[in-house]
Amino acid sequence: MEESELDLDLAVELVNAFTLAGTDGTLTDVRSGADVLRRLEGHELSAELSEDDLPALGKLSAELAPVFAAGTVAEAVSVLDPLLRDAVVPARLVEDAEGSGVARWGWGRDQQGMDAMRTRLLAALAAHLVRHGTKRTGVCRADPCRCVFVDRSRARTRRYCCDRCNDRAAATAYRRRQD
């Protein structure tokens, strides 16, 4: 999986971490903050984060969430473009990591911490929007879940953030039909 796809997954994890913590981008207790940081573990950018970054992470999460909820490209662009315009997004061209002789964008290469996180997540979401429009991003349709997802299925039919929500929605629909 290429770096921009991993960054896109991190954007999903970030938004969902704050969604699951039950917050609107502001964390009121240390346990919720630790949960958010734990969900982001495993990505190279998360190693540079600390609890001091939680307010900025919450703000970034709140800014990214509407892009996943956008029903049209125009709506997504109206949310994402101002964020890109206001961000410091240094564009770099780098050789592919495998040495394949292919060049690619190296967004945020000279940045660290929250600056790198913001740059790379915005760039990943923008690149995904350019490639796929809004057809492959969404918000879980299982009530009361509000987690976001990227649909990588061939049929482009994903409606739920995870199997658990899919199963819960199917069980609810089954019970409704039985009544």
Q: Could you name the CATH architecture of 3-133? A: Orthogonal Bundle (1.10)
pLDDT digits (tens, 9 = 90+) for 96-119: 666 777 776 777 677 778 888 898
- Residue 67 vs residue 49, higher pLDDT: 67
* Mean pLDDT of the residues in the chain: 84
Answer whether 122's CB lies under 8 Å from 87's CB: yes
C-alpha distances in angstroms, 41 versus 36, 44, 83, 99, 154?
A: 9, 8, 25, 27, 28
**What is the CB neighbour count within 10 angstroms for residue 56?**
16
pLDDT digits (tens, 9 = 90+) for 111-158: 778 888 898 899 999 999 999 999 999 999 998 899 999 999 988 889
Q: Is the entire prediction scored with pTM above 0.95?
A: no
Beta strand pairing status for 137-139 and 148-150?
antiparallel
C-alpha distances in angstroms, 167 versus 136, 139, 149, 173?
A: 21, 16, 16, 10
pLDDT at 91: 67
CA distance 18 to 5: 20
**What are the residues facing 4 on neighbouring strands?**
none
pLDDT at 72: 96
The tokens for 15 are 């938004």
pLDDT at 165: 92
